[in-house]
Chains A and B, each alone.
Chain A
């Protein structure tokens, strides 16, 4: 077996999705090698969230094929969907922590109910993960008692405790106060350094330029441009991606 790009850990091919008579995804394909990071950009409404949610079938695609680590998912079988989601972690823009559970129980409940791990082992694992994201001292706080950045870090710890093969991140820093963005970015960068395979929708330039192995520019339910940041963002390149990122930079410039 060859290592690297020849052997994708995720293959989503020709994903289509229509809501009513509004086609949101027109046959989108994405492949991801182990350890690879792809970043989705494009203006709001382009279908980034829908694509990410189709990959773990939170939104079941109308057609297309999904394959994770050599296993083809039968999207008509619930069992397959549950198994798929255990292997593909997801981080949401608005965290989606369980509001009635403490930080640590947010993690243990998934380990206990989904992975059927004993309470002691789950607690131990959850503690480790919380420490990894710098929240070892916040275990017993409820979501309502945490800041946005802390909530997102708990959500990341929760996803990682399930040992996912791939992580999907949907604008993980967009709902955060500017002052809290940094702590989440540094956690994501640490994940990348450890070799986590990720697809992330984000408009955070520091994530795009430092992490992306490839940028996917989405518009109206299609990937209209894709390539490495060094090519797409090169000076003098007339790419849509460059134009888009320049406008992001302008925004940051104005704010700063």
Chain B
């Protein structure tokens, strides 16, 4: 059975788009988690100045729409002599936005670690940095993991905003075909299925990570 030209073109485009989507999502998710942990630690344990910087970062990136952030990064930064390709601009925006949300989950988890864990470490001669790095963060990550996973699922869906900076991924490719053939409903339903698949795969990976990090006494078995 041959697919009609419309479907042939649609799947070719969407497959190209989904590759771009994955190329946007994976580094943004990883970068977001790393920034989130760093910002979360700084916002929880930092001195007054760095804490203010961390809080400011989170307030700005959680408080403004992602569309605006992407616009500023792609169209605004050139005014300062910083030129980013559409792809780099999109990944930068996603990472910073995701990191701001991740830092909130990480911070909550860090604050939930009981003082006994600090005392136990300090009494053995751990420095403050060692206590945070070896004892507090590893526990907090396990407590934050559900929230962080949830944020990654959101990221998969808001990655479609890359079209703002002319980076054409899954949604962008689909929209082009839909406009060309004027068949919006079908195209967007197929796009929906693609996202559903992406999210399903992401959830499987997250579950695997959760299992690897599982320790009795943290969350459910």
Contacts and interface: CB of A to CB of B under 8 A. Distances in A.
B134 A109 contact: yes
Contacts of B125: 82-83, 85-86, 110, 114, 162
A92 B120 contact: yes
A84 B144 CA distance: 34
A143 B114 CA distance: 15
Interface string A76-117: 001000110110011010111111100000000110011000
Interface in B107-130: 116-117, 119-127, 130
B139 interface: yes
B120 A96 contact: yes
A73 to B, nearest CB: 13
Given A98-B135, A100-B142, A113-B134, A158 B124 contact: yes
Interface residues of B, number: 21
Contacts of B124: 85-86, 89, 110, 114, 158-159, 162
B216 to A, nearest CB: 4
Given A58-B122, A83-B125, A85-B125, A99 B215 contact: yes
A98 B218 contact: no
Contacts of B119: 58, 92, 96
A114 B126 CA distance: 6
B111 to A, nearest CB: 16
A144 interface: yes
B5 interface: no
B107 to A, nearest CB: 18
A254 B215 CA distance: 41
Contacts of A85: 122-125
Contacts of A83: 125
Contacts of B76: none
Given A89-B123, A100-B138, A144 B216 contact: yes
Given A85-B125, A89-B123, A96 B215 contact: no
Nearest to A110: B124
A151 B35 CA distance: 35
Residue from the set B123, B134, B216 with the largest chain A CB neighbour count within 10 Å: B123
A244 interface: no
A109 B121 CA distance: 10
Interface in B167-211: none
A97 B124 CA distance: 11
A177 to B, nearest CB: 19
A95 B122 CA distance: 13
A99 B217 contact: yes
B215 A142 contact: yes
Given A110-B126, A113-B134, A92 B116 contact: yes
A34 to B, nearest CB: 21
A90 B123 contact: yes
Contacts of A97: 120
A77 to B, nearest CB: 13
A86 B117 CA distance: 17
A202 interface: no
A56 interface: yes
B138 to A, nearest CB: 5
A147 interface: no
A98 B217 CA distance: 11
A99 B216 CA distance: 9
A145 interface: yes
Nearest to A79: B127
B217 to A, nearest CB: 3
Contacts of A110: 124-126
B121 A98 contact: yes
Contacts of B134: 109, 113
Given A56-B123, A78-B127, A86-B125, 19 more contacts: A82-B125, A82-B126, A83-B125, A85-B122, A85-B124, A89-B123, A90-B123, A92-B119, A96-B123, A98-B120, A98-B139, A99-B139, A99-B215, A110-B126, A113-B126, A113-B134, A114-B125, A144-B215, A144-B216
25 contacts: A58-B122, A82-B126, A82-B127, A85-B122, A85-B123, A85-B125, A86-B124, A92-B116, A92-B119, A95-B116, A96-B123, A97-B120, A98-B121, A98-B135, A99-B117, A99-B215, A100-B138, A100-B139, A110-B125, A113-B126, A114-B124, A114-B126, A142-B215, A143-B217, A144-B215
Interface of B: 116-117, 119-127, 130, 134-135, 138-139, 142, 215-218
